[in-house]
Amino acid sequence: MFKKILKVVGILIVLFTVALFAIPYFFKDEIKSKIASAINEKVDAKVSFADADLSLFKNFPNATITLNKLLIINKAPFEGDTLVSLGELNLKMSIKELFNGKDEAMQIQGITSKNGFINILFNKDGIGNYDIALKEKNPKDDAKSKPLALKIQNYKIENFKFQYFDESSQIKMVIDSLNHQGTGDFTNSILDLDTKSTAKISLNMGKVNYMNKVPLTLNAVLGIDLEKSKYTFKQNKALINQLPLELDGFIQMVDAGQNYDLKFKTPTSSFKNFLGLIPAAYASNLDNVKTTGDFTVIGFAKGLYSATTVPKFNIAIASNNASFQYPDLPKSVKNIIIDTKIINETGILNDTYVNLDKLSFTIDQDIFNAKANVRNITQNALVDAALKGTINLGNLSKAYPIKLDKPLSGILKADVTTKFDMQSVEKSQYQNINNAGTMSLSGFNYADENGKIIQISNALVQFNPSQVNLKQFNATTGKSDISVTGVLENFYGFMFRNQELKGNFNMNSNQLAVADFMTTGATTVTKKTEAMKIPAFLNCTLTAKAKSVLYDNLTLKDVSGKLIVKDEKATLQNMKTAIFGGVIGVNGDVSTKGKTPIFDMNLNLSQVDIAQSFTQLDILKSIAPIAGIINGKLNSTIKLNGNLDANSMTPDLKTITGDLLGQLLSTTVNANNSTLLTALTANIKFLDLKKLNLNDVKAALSFKDGKVTVKPFDIKYQDIKATIGGTHGFDQSMNYSLKFDVPAKYLGAEANALLAKLSPSDAAKLDNIPINALLTGSFTNPKITTDIKTAITHLTTQVANQQKDKLVKKGSSALTNLINKNTKSSDTTKTGAQKEDIKTKATDLINGLFKKKKKTEEPKTP
């Protein structure tokens, strides 16, 4: 009996489990239909979701409906903008809700969502993109047919991003990494909602950033009145970074916007509150920090937030005669005074003003003071600021736990006042900007994570009403030293409006190593060197002189020229350097704007040594592999462009395209150093390359896709003319043709035997013999074919034809004499018998000239 009961129970459990799996499939289409209907009946937007699933296991005994990839896309006037994007949305409800009829609403008890994005926009007309709800024609009838009803008891969102942008005020707020959850019974119109929230907040007004991913934490019990849409802060604890705040008051949703009546303050006045404002990554542990003095934040926000107004508010931040010292550090920061207020007294956002009336502190004997006032913040911000004091950078890490791989050193001094408005900055109206004072840095030393040391011995910046002058900048790093002076033309536009940093500079250096200005990126396996990307914000001109520049394996002497940096491109103008015993001039540009760096250069080589340049420059080595074969000098113009290797910023030879026009000067040939030339002389016996004169030879080359094309050019070797042309690849493969115009005397013993039968005068009348040679294979393994045998045959034919013509001419002369001898000069007519006799004699004469005499037959031996 017991076994039967167990069996029945087992069967029931199996059936129940099967049912839990099967039920979702029966209700899936109905659920998708109800959800789609609930959304489409309520919103005027393009709504889609990838799928809807039902699970009876996630929150058993409740059911869970999951929507995947829910998207809400705006219609006009925000056509195509994303309003809501949810990676996952889960709706929890009682299982019995699945059995409701078509017209019965499903009651939702809980909502969770992950990986969401909410994008709230206001255009210039003050219209918000979130207002997508369709207007209800008959609210009473509509209430009877709601496919979904909210009876929420808890909700939770994970990893959300909330973005707010007002086009008219240019206010942008981003709440990122938002995690929020709440528990409360929404079936009641008045309830307490227990919430926990964490996020990172960023705030921009115009192009000025006021907060950048500041961590926020809020644990609060909110008293909610659903009928009045009123949310009251009861028990709460907020943290901005680690600064604690307490909130009191309420926020109420009204037709015009949100009505605020909030007060906030720090729960204590300890100066540790100030250290809490610093991000946790830099603040270290505050527990054992010794502090004196106070630090308080107190304020309120009261009024309506709407399309045209903001709540009036007053935020006061104050500290008086404070100090702090970390337990493991030798220095303390003393005499800290902070007096700052952020105030709006009218409810009009542009009337907000910021007064930093005083900021002062002392480290050792060094005192630093600052003050600033900012008004008219949204329309045309007016800034009035002053800095004065000294900071020993070496003391910063001794007084505050700054995380540095290597300690800083140096003395920073400032005595600067400035007054300007943002419109003048944007329009570069420097006459409206008032600057005065100086800022200097001396004895600065810094070592990066790779041990590269930067030393600035002296730097001095002078602030004038219309310019910022770099009066002095002397620095060394690695093997390099630089000295720079110049003028910055748009310093404030760069600082406050993300505009280009414009300037003109002069630089001098005794030695400049390009590798010192490359960055080293560590990987898990190796370290690789990457070229420093040309900054997009730079728009400046640098006139440079350097006695020595070290680039890759080259040493360039007496370098001078102009460098123009703009739009992530560096343009070289009239750059000259002494190298390889001559001078190289460079004009062109390098751009890092695209994914792959590119270059376009014109080079002018004057009197450079062939052996050095074609050995040390990979480009020349590939274009013309003549290093070690030809000695002498070269004049050349080279135009080339292509890609740069992203690591070394050297040309990628597979991509270069261009032309070369060169002239050889004072050259000699070392044939023994070339497998090709050795093979050539072995196949063409008359060629003695030691006697080859290449002086003033000019050649034109073009190269593309790894192949070099040499336009045919002529050279002279003794009294032989040669024409050379063809192609070769950067892989050393080749296909060249050589055409020689050769006097017969150079064609060897067989040719000379033929010439011996001729008189010197006849030999001199012979035409030069054309000889062709074809060079294929590679420079190290050449294949050479010639038509010398054909040339010998051609010579034999030429000699035979010459002799034949000579004999014909001689026979014709003898015939004429014979005719004249047998004819009287006075006869004008001849008989037929006489003409026939003359014809017979002439034939006999020709046969005697061209036919061999028959040998006298010898008697046969009996």
Contact between residue 410 and residue 393 where contact means Cβ atoms under 8 Å apart: yes
Instruction: Write the pLDDT tens digit of every residue in 497-549.
Output: 677 888 899 999 999 888 787 654 433 334 444 555 788 888 899 999 999 98
In this model, does residue 590 exceed pLDDT 80? yes
DSSP H or E segment with residue 240: strand 230-240
Contact between residue 729 and residue 703 where contact means Cβ atoms under 8 Å apart: no
In this model, does residue 149 exceed pLDDT 50? yes
Instruction: Write the pLDDT tens digit of every residue in 692-744.
Output: 777 888 889 998 988 899 999 888 777 788 889 999 988 889 999 989 888 87
Q: Which of 128, 40, 129 minimizes the C-alpha distance to 81?
A: 129
Instruction: Write the pLDDT tens digit of every residue in 412-440.
Output: 999 999 998 888 877 878 778 888 999 99
Tell which wins on pLDDT, 826 or 689: 689
Contact between residue 250 and residue 233 where contact means Cβ atoms under 8 Å apart: yes
Instruction: Catalogue the E-assigned strands of 467-534.
Output: 468-477, 480-488, 501-509, 512-513, 519-522, 527-530
Q: Which of 470, 475, 554 minimizes the C-alpha distance to 506?
A: 470
Start-to-end CA distance of the chain, whole Å, equals 147
pTM value?
Answer: 0.65
DSSP H or E segment with residue 306: none
Mean pLDDT across the chain: 80
Q: For strand 720-729 and strand 734-742, is the pairing parallel, antiparallel, or unpaired?
A: antiparallel
Q: Give the burial class of 53: count Cβ atoms within 10 A of its Cβ; 0-12 exposed, 13-18 middle, 19 or more buried.
A: middle
Name the one residue in this structure whose structure tokens are 């949703």.
253
pLDDT at 148: 52
Q: Which of 633, 622, 628 minimizes the C-alpha distance to 730?
A: 622
Residues paired with residue 717 on neighbouring β-strands, in sequence order = 720
Q: What angle do CA 513, 515, 517 make, to 5 degrees?
A: 90
DSSP-assigned letters across all residues of 16-57 = HHHHHHHHHHHHHHHHHHHHHHHHHTTBSSEEE-SEEEEEEE
Contact between residue 192 and residue 223 where contact means Cβ atoms under 8 Å apart: yes
Residue extents of the structural domains in the chain: 24-134+146-168, 241-385, 404-499, 510-669
SS3 category, 757: coil
Q: Give the burial class of 753: count Cβ atoms within 10 A of its Cβ; 0-12 exposed, 13-18 middle, 19 or more buried.
A: exposed
Q: List the single range of 94-98, 712-716, 849-853 with lowest mean pLDDT.
A: 849-853
Neighbouring C-beta atoms of residue 189, cutoff 10 Å: 10
Tell which wins on pLDDT, 147 or 474: 474
SS3 category, 396: helix
pLDDT at 19: 40
